[in-house]
Amino acid sequence: MKKALIIGIAIVFGFALFMGGTPTTAQAKTTFITVGTGGITGVYYPTGGAICKIVNKKRKEYGIRCTVESTGGSVFNVNAIMSGDLEFGVVQSDRQFQAINGSEKSEWAGKPQKDLRAVFSIHPESITLVAAVEAGIKSIADLKGKKVNIGNPGSGQRQNSIDALEAVGIDYKKDLKAEGIKASESASLLQDGRIDAFFYTVGHPNGSIKEATSGKRKVRFASITDVDKLLAKYPYYAPAVIPISFYPNAANKEDVKTFGVKATFVTSAKVPDDVVYAITKEVFENFEDFKKLHPAYQVLTKKGMLEGLSAPIHPGAMKYYKEAGLK
C-alpha cells in the first residue's frame, strides 16, 4: 500500500513538472534594476529611460526589469551605487575619475571607491554658462560681483563650475554671489531676475536651456576660454563647442567655445556579470535605434563609447566587448 502511495505521489509530481511546474529563469526570478540619472530636464534622465526602454523589450529573455530614478546627479549616483541603493547610474567622467581615485578636493578624498565599475560612456557634455544680456556677461571673466548659480552640492557640475572659475582667477566664495541650486531650476531664476547667470554641465540640446533662452529676458551663452592649463591638468576635460543652432532665441550668432566632460554609465563590481552583459549587449546591438532616442546621441560611435572611462570596465561589459571585437 505504501509503495503504491509513493508511486502515485511521484506520478502526480512528475505530471506537474511536465505541465510546466518548473518555471523558466525569467519566470522564476525577475531581477529589478534601477538607473540613477539627474534632473528630469537634463539629458541624464532620458538617457536612463532610453537604456531601460531597450532592455525592457527583452524582459522575458533576460528576466530584467529596468526602472529610472531622477536623482541629484553624479555624486549621488556614485554613492547610491556603492551603498547598493542603485544598480546603475549616469555619472560625469570627471566624477568617475575622482571616485575611483579618491581624488583630493572631491567628496571621496582619500577614500577611493574601489568597487566602482565602468560600463560605457555616452554623450559629450559641455560646461555651459548662460547669462542675461543686461548683466553684461560675455565671457566667464565678466562674472565677478554677479549673482551666479554654480550648481547644487553633490552635483558634478558644481565642481566643473568651480574649476572653470578658478582657471580664470575667480574665487566663487569671495568674488561671486554664488547660489547652490539645482541646474534644472536655473532657467526660471534667470528669467525672474533672481540670478544674473548660471552654469550647467549638460548635453545639447537641453530643455531647461531652451526655456532660459525663450523667455522675455534676453539671454546669451558666455564663452569659457583661457582654460588650457586646466585641460592639461585634468585628463577628463576637453575643448567643446555649443552649437547655437539648437537655441535660435539666444543672443549669440555663432557657436560658443567652452570645454566639457562625458556622461558615463557606471555600476558596482557586485552587480552580476549576466545583468551587465545583457544591458551592454542590448545597447550596442541596438546602437542605431539608441542614437535616435535623443539629439545629443547623434555624435556617438561604438568606439567612442569606450573612451573617457577611468574605472575598471565591469567583466560583464568586457565579455560583450570582446565578443563584438571592440576590445
Sign, Cα dihedral of 97, 103, 107, 112: positive
Q: What is the pLDDT of residue 134?
A: 97
Among candidate residues 203, 240, 95, the one with its CA nearest the CA of residue 156: 95
Q: Would you identify the CATH topology of the domain 29-124+262-323?
A: D-Maltodextrin-Binding Protein; domain 2 (3.40.190)
Q: What is the pLDDT of residue 28?
A: 56
Q: What is the pLDDT of residue 20?
A: 45
Q: Is 114 helix (H, G, I), strand (E, B) or coil?
A: coil
Contact 8, 39 (CB under 8 A): no
Among candidate residues 37, 136, 131, 38, the one with its CA nearest the CA of residue 89: 37
Q: What is the pLDDT of residue 2?
A: 42
Q: Which residues pair with 265 in a beta bridge?
A: 90, 120
Domain ranges of the chain: 29-124+262-323, 125-261
Contact 155, 182 (CB under 8 A): yes
CA distance 251 to 215: 12
Q: What is the pLDDT of residue 294?
A: 84
* H or E segment and range at residue 273: helix 273-285
Per-residue pLDDT of 266-318, as tens digits, reads: 999 999 999 999 999 999 999 999 998 888 888 889 998 998 899 999 999 99
Q: Do domains 29-124+262-323 and 125-261 have the same CATH topology?
A: yes
Spans of the chain, pLDDT less than 70: 1-28
Q: What is the pLDDT of residue 124?
A: 85
Strand runs labelled E in 150-255: 177-179, 197-202, 219-222, 238-242
List of residues 6+ apart from 25 with CB closer than 8 A: 63
CA distance 85 to 71: 12
- CATH superfamily, region 125-261: Periplasmic binding protein-like II (3.40.190.10)
In angstroms, what is the C-alpha Rg of the chain?
24
Q: What is the pLDDT of residue 223?
A: 97
Contact 305, 120 (CB under 8 A): yes
CA distance 208 to 189: 11
